[in-house]
């Protein structure tokens, strides 16, 4: 495996050196040759590399759904401020390319992006970070070395790391949520509208406790998770004993690098798909208040039990988290339903959905964040808090009902995916986060 990685690394380095003069750009702060290919890192950090490979961090500029949506949201725009936002996704999705001069925007020719930059959010980018100049839109401050001949300092969570290849240094920044927050808070580059607020949600929430024993950082969940261990706020988060490097010391905890989040649609990776499902299934509870069936109204309560941020989080105008409820009478006849997908897997109007609705500045909803001048609605569930909804049932002569409620999630609406690409090309899985059933006698 090491031999193959070295061959791959040499090929990438040679290709980058040959290609760099064609893409050199005055806006680049660094040279592409200053960054080290992840396969080189994998020669010593093999287990971590294997976790990261095919993760959403690795696939940030290769994920076909992201590519389709980012191109779709760019089409037809004429307002320069809206175009500027639509073109800006590369700042977090192709960070090494952006800081080395190419690409500068979403519509740049992807064939000209250096292969090294196409590796997404990668080892050398994160471990060259020294801090943040701002806590949104990828505000990382970098101090990379000069490639494999002079790799410089690599920073991480250990005080006593040693390497024959690079210098090592403890970094408090790498143990804090701030290193995650620089990309996981996103603001419109012109209007300043808060488009994603995952870090802010954590920062203002109960997991950001002043008590070190109660404090749980982003890493405390997302970099403790591994197969069979969801590591959410509602489950144990045991340490991951092992080695960070092949010949390194055995440590009480090695931070994992799977980075699955709620993405259960990673092509060809059933392990990460299952991990994402496990995370979603240990994030919330749903309850039907069987004592509150009054005037034919049924009360449902969803509680965020496992996420250190809101549910849902991220680009929450796209994320779909909703309640599907089906109510049958004693004869097994369905008398009420809501949130049931139609034949096209579209979510019907009127469903109870937890999301953010952006506006165009004139009070009109917009599905394109490039046009987002305002937030019309933010209906989501903060950490350890609950939201209740009521549904009104039809009246009838039934004496008993059975209500089944499921909290469902998928990363994007099927309707928008079909608009952005050929209908049916993408079919994201719908994950049942939690469900409950109650049989209630009608008084």
| The pLDDT of residue 7 | 42
| The pLDDT of residue 197 | 98
| The pLDDT of residue 112 | 98
The DSSP output letter for 36 is P
Query: Which of helix, strand or coil describes residue 86?
Result: helix
The DSSP output letter for 32 is G
Query: Can you list the pairs that 182-185 forms with residues at least 24 positions away whose Cβ atoms lie under 8 Å?
Result: 182/132, 182/134, 182/135, 182/136, 182/137, 182/138, 182/139, 182/140, 183/92, 183/95, 183/121, 183/137, 183/138, 184/218, 184/314, 185/135, 185/136, 185/137
CB 440 within 8 A of CB 400: yes
The predicted-structure confidence for 347-383, as pLDDT tens digits, reads as follows 999 999 999 999 999 999 999 999 999 999 999 999 9
Report mean pLDDT in 10-residue bins for the chain, 443 residues. 43 39 52 98 98 97 96 96 98 98 97 98 98 98 97 98 97 98 98 98 98 96 98 98 97 98 91 98 94 81 98 97 97 97 96 98 97 98 97 90 97 96 94 96 79
| The pLDDT of residue 71 | 95
Q: Tokens 């004496």 identify what position? A: 399
Residue 300 to residue 324: CA distance in whole angstroms: 11
Query: Considering only CA atoms, which of 200, 34, 258 is closest in space to residue 266?
Result: 258
Burial of 256 (0-12, 13-18, 19+ CB in 10 A): buried
Domains and CATH numbers, the chain: 2-262 (no CATH), 283-441 (2.60.40.2550)
Which residue stretches of 103-225 are H helix? 123-127, 178-184, 198-203, 218-222
Cis peptide before 167, with omega less than 30 degrees from 0? no
| The pLDDT of residue 17 | 37
CB 237 within 8 A of CB 220: yes
Residue 35 to residue 121: CA distance in whole angstroms: 12
Neighbours of 397 (CB within 10 A): 6
All residues at 6 or more sequence positions from 400 whose CB lies less than 8 Å from its CB, including other chains: 329, 330, 439, 440, 441, 442
| CA–CA distances in Å: residue 182 to residues 158, 179, 361, 369 | 22, 6, 26, 19
| The pLDDT of residue 27 | 54
Residue 22 to residue 16: CA distance in whole angstroms: 10
CB 238 within 8 A of CB 256: no
């Amino acid at each position: 495996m090491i031999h193959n990685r070295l061959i791959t690394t040499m090929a990438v380095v040679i290709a980058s050196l040959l290609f760099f003069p064609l893409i050199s750009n005055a806006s680049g702060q660094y040279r592409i040759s200053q960054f080290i290919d992840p396969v080189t890192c994998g020669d010593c950090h093999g287990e971590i590399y294997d976790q990261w490979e095919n993760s959403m961090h690795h696939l940030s500029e290769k994920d076909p759904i992201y590519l389709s949506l980012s191109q779709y949201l760019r089409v037809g725009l004429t307002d320069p401020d809206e175009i500027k936002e639509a073109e800006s996704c590369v700042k977090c999705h192709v960070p090494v390319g952006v800081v080395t001069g190419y690409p500068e925007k979403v519509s740049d020719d992807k064939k000209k992006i250096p292969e090294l930059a196409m590796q997404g959010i990668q080892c050398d980018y994160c471990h060259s970070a020294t801090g943040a100049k701002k806590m949104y839109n990828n505000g990382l401050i970098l101090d990379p070395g000069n490639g494999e001949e002079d790799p410089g300092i690599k920073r991480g969570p250990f005080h006593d790391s040693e390497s024959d290849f690079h210098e090592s240094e403890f970094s408090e920044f790498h143990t804090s949520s701030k290193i995650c927050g620089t990309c996981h808070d996103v603001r419109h580059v012109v209007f300043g509208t808060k488009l994603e607020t995952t870090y802010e949600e954590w920062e203002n929430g109960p997991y950001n406790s002043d008590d070190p024993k109660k404090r749980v950082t982003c890493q405390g969940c997302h970099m403790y998770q591994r197969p069979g261990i969801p590591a959410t706020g509602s489950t144990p988060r045991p340490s991951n004993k092992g080695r960070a490097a092949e010949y390194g010391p055995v440590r009480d905890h090695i931070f994992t690098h799977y980075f699955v989040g709620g993405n259960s649609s990673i092509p060809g990776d059933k392990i990460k798909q299952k991990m994402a499902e496990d995370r979603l299934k240990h994030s919330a509870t749903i309850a039907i208040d069987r004592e509150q069936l009054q005037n034919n109204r049924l009360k449902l309560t969803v509680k965020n039990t496992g996420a250190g941020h809101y549910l849902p989080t991220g680009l929450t105008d796209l994320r779909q988290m909703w309640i599907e409820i089906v109510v049958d009478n004693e004869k097994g006849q369905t008398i009420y339903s809501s949130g049931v997908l139609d034949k096209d897997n579209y979510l019907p109007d009127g469903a109870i959905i937890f999301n953010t609705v952006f506006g165009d500045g004139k009070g009109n909803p917009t599905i394109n964040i490039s046009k987002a001048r305002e937030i019309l609605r933010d209906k989501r569930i903060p950490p350890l808090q609950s939201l209740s909804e009521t549904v009104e049932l039809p009246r009838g002569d039934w004496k008993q009902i059975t209500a089944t409620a499921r909290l469902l999630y998928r990363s994007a609406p099927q309707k928008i995916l079909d608009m952005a690409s050929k209908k049916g090309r993408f079919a994201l899985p719908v994950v049942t986060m939690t469900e409950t059933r109650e049989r209630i006698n009608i008084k």
